Each structure stands twice: as C-alpha cells, then as structure tokens.
Amino acid sequence: MKIAVVFATTCLLSQVTVANDKQELMALSKFAGACGILDSLIQFQTTTKFDQGKEFVYRFWSVEAARLGMDSAEKLMEVCLEVVPKYDSLWNAYGRMEKR
C-alpha cells in the first residue's frame, strides 16, 4: 500500500512539474514575442523618424510595463534583455533535437 501511495504521489508531482515547465515555456515564449514586437516598434521609429515618435514609443513601453505589473519602461526593457536570450537558447536547443 505504501508503495502505491509513493508511486501515485511521485507520478502526480512529476505531472505538476511537467505542467509547470510547459506553462513556464509558454509564458517565456509569449513574453519573448512581446519583446520582439516592442523592439520592432523601436526599429520602426529609428528608420522612419516620426515627429514625437520617441515619446510615443516610450509611452507605449510604459503602458505595457504597467499592464504587466512593472513600474517602468526601463524595468520592462531589463526583463526583455533577460528573456529573449533564454528563449533563443531554448529555440536553438529544440532545433538541435529535431536534427537527431
């Protein structure tokens, strides 16, 4: 009986871990995509040089940061600088696995 309980508990915990890993991967992917869009906005403004475009981009980043519970556009940028390389590493690792 004890073995069955230990086995069931282990299976349940491993499923929770897998689910959490998948959820974290999904969140990381979504966040990296959002960061990519925000970066595209900066690149677009850099090339088009719209009047007051820098202010618009900064305000947009600030609103997105607040929506995500962050206190500044700078904090969002810090998070993006951390998240995107992690996503890239996972993407590259997946590509290497596919080639096998």
User: pLDDT tens, 23-42?
Assistant: 888 888 888 999 999 999 99
pTM over 0.85: no
- Does the pLDDT value for residue 47 go beyond 50? yes
DSSP H helical segments within the chain, as ranges?
A: 2-48, 53-67, 73-98
Q: What is the C-alpha to C-alpha distance for residues 75 and 54, in angstroms, rounded to an integer?
A: 18
51: three-class secondary structure by DSSP = coil
- Does the pLDDT value for residue 12 go beyond 50? no
Looking at residue 22, its pLDDT comes to 82
Could you tell me the pLDDT band of residue 43, with boundaries at 50, 70 and 90? Answer: very high
Looking at residue 62, its pLDDT comes to 95
